[in-house]
Structure 1
């Protein structure tokens, strides 16, 4: 038996010890739910304790089956190792111990000591003598026999840690099958720095394709939940993705890191107070998403606030208490100047009118009771005054009237929107009432703006926003309201902007989110997309009208094939057949109008396919056919990109869409086309 075999046997045995300890932890968590109800405490304390224990048991019971550790740190027996001198630690996705007071069998990757696993190098070993990485069989559920290899880096020894090791390189280049997995075993120093940034500081990550920006954002979320649980869990954590396909793709990352209960949603989910039953023309949609609409709807709302026209007289037993017109006008004027949410302002007007009556009563008969104050506030004269000067409204009522009455829109949009823009967003067929209105996706963002003016929405402790470059100014404002006093991690790539309102610069986008001072950190070194494919995509940068550095990749093992065919459908089927002979997932990405024909051709050829929104039962199909508009954020080992020129021609920012498509492959890219390639790519065929 070789020394490697002996080490593998010892590590497999240790893994079984950890597995037994984890099972005991799960069992203890379930027992604590039962025994915790007998703890002597107040009702509120007992309820809080019970909730915490049940949440802990649920979390432990939902842990996915996976290897319990992926690395080990052996600290040097020198003073440089400090308190860790001569010790070793296994690093995994969560802490495992036999007892809370005992040293852990496995240290959570987010613990301070684990930072050395990601940061230690031959130049700066952080006191580490040996960093060990473990090689597990792909998609292992954690069976000990799945531990197939290990690799030691001897830090501090000349030549001992040069370049990527075989295990790390293999993990970075592993086939991409199924949903996104965590990168916790392969986090690089620059990524680790972003993951562990101060939770109070908002952060924007400008990440080129393949740099792992999405994974960095999700791991940052998991780190914040671990390191600052009270701060983050109090308000909750929200992850915003661009579409359902993307959310399905990333759904398992946080649970694999031991974090459940995180809301993952699209911006449409967050603002979806009404069903979408209408569709705007592109010109109207562009105006509605413009930042100027925030001022337009605000004017429309506060135009309903009017000065009083008569005094108020309130019967009070033998008294008739009167509030003069001038005093009422002053109340409305002062509350209007305080710039509070509309509904709060309405109640302030009521309360201050009652305060005037209270002072009158105090002069007659001393301080009134609470019942008297409530009776005055509910009196008809006070209610009529408030309703006339500061009427109760619904967001749908305000917006429907704004979009159906040209005169109202003209008054609200004066100096903000041109007459042509006003006509563009005016409804051609007004609904019978605001309650029967049919709302578009852009309307929902405006309704959310109005709802935010009426009252402040609940906020989150931290928000992660992916593909943030594609958010409109009004969508950014909607998210900004939900960030509130919390923090945000913004993820995106200006070069991948595809919407008509996509950001050209981060400062402008961050200002719309309410975080103009957020730090912008670039990630330019890719670990997933091969260099040959990155170089191809970089040809498009000059045409994208954004200032981002060209991406580069550490991988030189990719393949690029460009083929012109008079029958692109048949050529696509042939390319997919060839790809199926190799390992990994396959994405067929085509212009939206061509996807159904391609799916039908593949089915006729006997090739099973998935769609990104509805994977096949059991996830057995290796081939996914998807429109170019849904490709963002997804990755496949082999991509067949069909008809690039049609992808570019399909929308105003089609060149950005093509940039996205060309960077979805993590191993091989086939470009199939009948029509001439866009000019930026033609040189690649010569």
Structure 2
């Protein structure tokens, strides 16, 4: 048969199948009927089930499925060999009718659907693990679809049994999706999940799963899909409301906010570590502006070794945790008073009795919880003894109550802030801390503020003193984990009964060197070997080969445990470097942004500046020049797309169709700023241009002299 005729026939068959699937979905939606509003409990539960089914059907109506695989199960059936069965894969599973039966669409998280991602070609058997054991068979077809508003836009066969296959055929659909422009939200990748990503998504829930992923490897999206998979796979054991995502900023949370709802998942907590910490501390402290943090300030004191102790690296270390443990241990020694209690003459409560209550009755309760219960026990003893002795004289009773209150004041009562403050002043102050550091830390705490590098210590103390007052967390996702300290991770581990974490980041994007880690071993070492797994994602799907090659060049001289990013075979425009004078600089930025807007090739454009002040000046110039642009600031809750001016340190995690680095001169990016410049450049999907004032950054001089190096 002529290939064009065959292609037309396939198109028609798939369009008919899509029409039939949509009719079935719409019919099932209409059959559900209105919500139940009565008081009958059974009907209320049935109504919840109907609403869940309705939610899945509505997801399916928008895009019924994205893939198809034709699979023949091995073995002999009752009527002979098993037939080849076409299986359609979608974001939500759909039965053929309300009674259930054979699936119309298989949920992408179902065991059988794993073959759609794991099978990469060849004639070897495909297999998946079902509840009844491993099932194997032959794959005959893998087909990808793009469906928009009920219309089949495109289909690509990535595998056809018996036909010669090539890498270009398998990648065609992926490249098509990667070539699409960006809007202001992160999208799901359920239709293009790669086999190495799928292994992470379907990994066991127990333990700490670490992901080192280069820029554009999809690690954040993989982690979000993993949450959706865990809720599906362990539906009876974990709850969405006991799962939480920790992201670097509120704006980033807004950026990723559409992925989970599109996958049919809700109720998962989303926050930043510092917002969570402040809530846990019951707003006893406020967070200082990041630019006022001690670590940021002392980082400027290069060469002064004594200042380094005050950085987040020290305050977030396990060594510092040991200091906190010592302080809490000393406090525990004073919980039980050393003197007896005499409420009235002849009535005595000896310290030995109090010590026995403390040790035997309250077990492993947190320290201040034990203290409060001990106070309650003393009060009950007091009331019981007075009643037993029939003490009724009002003066005696009043004197006894005064003595009781005075005695109970001997039981130490501390908040996390109070105990932490004591470590930086008075006789309990830590030894060896520079005086200026102790003074500044204490002054902030007295005013009710804490720097970012102090938050983990405060949380740790609070959990040791009061414990977790909410139910333990079933699963924790930590994004940009290279900026976390070991103590931060330890505090989150304390919030789980059984460790279940997905921890992801990129050491090459560790731009907060004063507080983050330098090696993943600093975090993986917190867990037993059998409780931690480590995955690497080195393939970058975001940017063109030219952009990834250029970004890798920036980090080319750096040593470390991370492999450079490997781009997919997607070529684009060469990276541009352009010198400008100080007088021309702002005008050239505006002119370039304006040209890109007028071409309408890019939906999202970012002008990335070095500092917040620089970005503010650029934005004001753009507004005066009549450009419609938004400015990203540190406390901004959302990102709106379009033309955006953003400081490089706030751009991490975001991506744009086109990126213009405002200034790549040596005054902006020295050798120490390689990771910052790398972050800025890897935000670009399709287009990257860098202006520079004065001398070009030393990170790029060789590249400028050898233009071919940019495209290697």
Question: Which position in structure 1 is the counterpart of 2:235?
Answer: 229
User: Could you tell me how far 1:6 is from its partner in structure 2?
Assistant: 4.2
| CA distance 1:18–1:682, shift in 2 (3 Å) | same
The equivalent residue for 1:311 is 340
Partner of 2:114, secondary structure, is helix
Q: What secondary structure does 1:157 align onto?
A: coil
Q: How does 1:204-243 map to 2 (within 5 A)?
A: 204-233=210-239, 236-243=242-249
Matched, 1:568 2:570: no
Does 2:15 correspond to 1:12? yes
- Identify the range of structure 1 (460-469 vs 596-605) with the bigger mean alpha-carbon deviation: 596-605
- Correspondence 1:666-681 to 2 at 5 A: 666-681=685-700
Equivalent position of 1:369 in the other structure: none
Judge which range, 551-560 or 488-497, deviates more: 551-560
1:132-531 aligned at under 5 Å gives the runs: 132-136=143-147, 140=148, 143-145=149-151, 147-160=152-165, 162-163=167-168, 164-233=170-239, 236-273=242-279, 274=283, 275-276=286-287, 279-281=292-294, 282-283=297-298, 284=310, 286=312, 288-305=315-332, 306=334, 307-313=336-342, 322-329=348-355, 340-347=365-372, 349=374, 387-388=408-409, 390-403=411-424, 406-408=425-427, 411-414=428-431, 417-420=432-435, 422-423=437-438, 425-428=440-443, 431=446, 437-457=448-468, 458=470, 459-499=472-512, 500-511=514-525, 517-531=531-545
Aligned position for 1:579: 596
Whether the 8 Å CA contact 2:56–2:93 is kept in 1: the answer is no
**2:642 is matched with which residue: 610, 622, 625?**
622
May I ask how many residue pairs the two structures share in their alignment?
Answer: 643
SS at match of 2:293: coil
Query: Alpha carbons of 1:672 and 1:311: their partners in 2 closer, same or farther (altered >3 Å)?
Result: same
**Equivalent in the alignment of 1:600:** 620
d(CA) in 2 for partners of 1:209, 1:629: 14
Stretches of structure 2 that go unaligned for 5 or more consecutive residues are: 127-137, 299-309, 390-399, 706-712
Mapped contact 2:544–2:685 kept (Cα < 8 A): yes
Distance 2:61 2:637 in 1: 20
Do the aligned residues in 2 keep the contact of 1:12 with 1:144 (CA within 8 Å)? no
Shift, 1:108, TM fit: 0.7
- 1:550 is matched with 564
> Which residue of structure 2 aligns with residue 38 of structure 1?
40
* 1:682 alignment partner in structure 2: 701
C-alpha distance in 2 between matches for 1:613 and 1:80? 64
The answer to whether 1:632 aligns with 2:652 is yes
* 1:372 matched residue in structure 2: none
CA distance, structure 1, for counterparts of residue 343 and residue 703 of structure 2 = 83
Contact kept in structure 1, 2:186 and 2:256, CA below 8 Å: yes
208-217 or 639-648: bigger deviation: 639-648
Distance 1:256 1:642, change over 3 A: same
Partners of 1:214 and 1:206 in 2: CA distance: 11
The answer to whether the 8 A contact 1:175-1:583 is kept is: yes
Provide the rounded CA distance (Å) in 2 between the counterparts of 1:638 and 1:268.
31
Change over 3 Å in CA distance of 1:617–1:68 after alignment to 2: farther
Question: How far off is 1:19 after superposition?
Answer: 3.4
Structure 1: runs of 5 or more not aligned: 41-45, 366-378
Change in CA separation of 1:513 and 1:479 when aligned onto 2, cut-off 3 Å: farther
1:89 paired residue among 87, 90, 104: 87
2:142 alignment counterpart: 131
After TM superposition, the score normalised by the length of structure 1 is: 0.82
| Equivalent in the alignment of 2:306 | none
